[in-house]
């Protein structure tokens, strides 16, 4: 397809009343005159593109942007990096809280239970590998029922090595 289009003349491309009056080959800048006599120039290398005023009556200054009370900043001002990262802050906060709970759960599960407080008429016994309720009662010369009464709720099938149970004195 060729480069010709239906908009190839100045009348079709320029605003009404504006005419091309010159071209500077050294800077590749086109010059234009508006209907009110003001002079305009194109960007270097562009025949029509964005034009900027070089002489003539200046347009009125643009009104200041309104103040946006919701954000606390003028609307033209770019947002700070904190504003851009706010959604990530919430995500990192949730991840940090989750990791804190996981580490707390792991550390509390790894701690051995506190040894039972033995009364006046009993002594603590530290459980060794191979110990059972019957073997502990037999070693101390007490009946098994007395050992189980002193340690209510102890599971004889799941004695933890390093744990402590109370042995009543005979």
Asked if residue 43 has pLDDT above 70, the reply is: yes
Q: What is the pLDDT of residue 135?
A: 92
Return the pLDDT at 141: 92
Tell me: pLDDT of 63 over 60: yes
Asked if pLDDT for residue 1 goes beyond 60, the answer is no
Percent of the chain with pLDDT over 90: 21
Out of 19-23, 53-57, 127-131, 163-167, least confident range? 53-57
- For residue 66, what pLDDT is reported? 64
Residue 169 pLDDT more than 90? no
Residue 152 has pLDDT above 80, yes or no: yes
Residue 40, strand partner residues: 32, 53
Assess whether pLDDT exceeds 60 at residue 40: yes
pLDDT band at 74 (very low <50, low <70, confident <90, very high): low
Instruction: Tell me if the pTM is above 0.75.
Output: no
Instruction: Say if domain 122-168 classifies as CATH 3.10.350.10.
Output: yes
């Amino acid at each position: 397809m060729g480069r010709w289009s239906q908009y190839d003349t100045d009348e079709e491309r320029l605003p009404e009343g504006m005419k091309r009056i010159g071209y500077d080959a050294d800077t590749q800048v086109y010059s234009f005159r508006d209907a009110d006599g003001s002079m305009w120039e194109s960007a270097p290398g562009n025949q029509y593109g964005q034009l900027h005023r070089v002489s003539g009556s200046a347009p009125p200054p643009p009104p200041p942007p309104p103040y946006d009370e919701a954000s606390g900043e003028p609307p033209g001002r770019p947002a700070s990096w904190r504003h851009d990262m706010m959604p990530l802050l919430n995500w990192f906060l949730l991840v940090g809280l989750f990791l804190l709970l996981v580490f707390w759960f792991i550390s509390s599960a790894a701690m051995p239970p506190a040894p039972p407080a033995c009364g006046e008429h009993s002594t603590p016994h530290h459980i060794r590998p191979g110990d059972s309720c019957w073997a502990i009662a037999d070693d101390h010369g007490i009946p098994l029922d007395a050992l189980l009464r002193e340690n209510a709720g102890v599971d004889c099938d799941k004695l933890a090595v390093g744990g402590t149970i109370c042995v009543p004195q005979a």
